[in-house]
Amino acid sequence: MKIGIMGGTFNPIHHGHLVTAAEALNQFSLEKVIFIPSGDPPHKDYREEEIAEHRYLMTVIATSSNSKFFVSRIEIDRKGKSYTIDTLKELKKTYGMDTEFYFITGADAILEILTWKKTEEIISLCYMIAATRPGYNLLKLEELKKDLSGMTGNNVDSKILVMEVPALAISSTDIRERIKSGRPIDYLVPEGVSNYIFKHGLYR
């Protein structure tokens, strides 16, 4: 079985994330994609954790119409920082060691992987899909692959995959800034997510 894991803060989830997951599903012949909103991201401040439940619910709303998209509370419910290695180990226990995992996230996040907890073990447990927007400079990812190959003693070329997604011109940061300054977010996020944001007065 091949399963995609969409790791992200999803603050908020937007169409760029949804297109990324759909593209990975197709390109890598995945059976399903599990969105896993981080509970308490190790590299972020407390504000992300404070609205974890909202981030989770918006992810559920955004993915509900796709029968191959699922959302997990695994990181939202786990106490302490949300380390990817802990999530992967838990998923391996649930789905079995034979399942192949494809961890999908933004290329900028993957560039920081050397600072993550137990980098080498992460690479041994899954493929990483670095989602980029067109025009992204791939040089740093190539350097990262060299560093990781040196660190693990194995060629990691086949383990770090790059996927270009034009819709990633949309960003959560831009959406939050738009809301703060009263500009529209129509068509950047699913309508249900937009309604949820305004109903709960998020990002004002």
Residues near ligand NAP (CB under 6 A): 6-9, 17, 20, 38, 41-43, 82-84, 104-106, 108-109, 116-117, 131, 168, 171-173
Six token digits for residue 9 = 């803060």
In the bound complex, what is the minimum distance in angstroms from residue 203's beta carbon to ligand NAP?
13
- Cα–Cα distance, 130 to 170 (Å, whole number): 16
Q: Which is nearer to ligand NAP, 20 or 72 (CB)?
A: 20
What is the rounded distance in angstroms from the CA atom of residue 167 to the CA atom of residue 19?
Answer: 7
To ligand NAP, the closest distance from the beta carbon of 105 in angstroms equals 4
CB 63 to ligand NAP: min, Å = 12
**Rounded to the nearest whole angstrom, what is the least distance from the CB of residue 110 to ligand NAP in the complex?**
8
Closest distance between ligand NAP and the C-beta of residue 28, in Å?
14
Question: In terms of CB distance, is 156 or 172 closer to ligand NAP?
Answer: 172
- The structure tokens listed for 110 are 């993957």
In the bound state with ligand NAP, the residue whose beta carbon lies nearer, of 98 and 135, is 135
Of all residues in the shown chain, the one whose CB is closest to ligand NAP is 106
| Residue 17 or 54 with smaller CB distance to ligand NAP | 17
Of 154 and 163, which CB lies nearer to ligand NAP in the complex structure? 163
How close are the terminal C-alpha atoms of the chain, in Å?
42
Q: Are 165 and 11 in contact (CB under 8 A)?
A: no
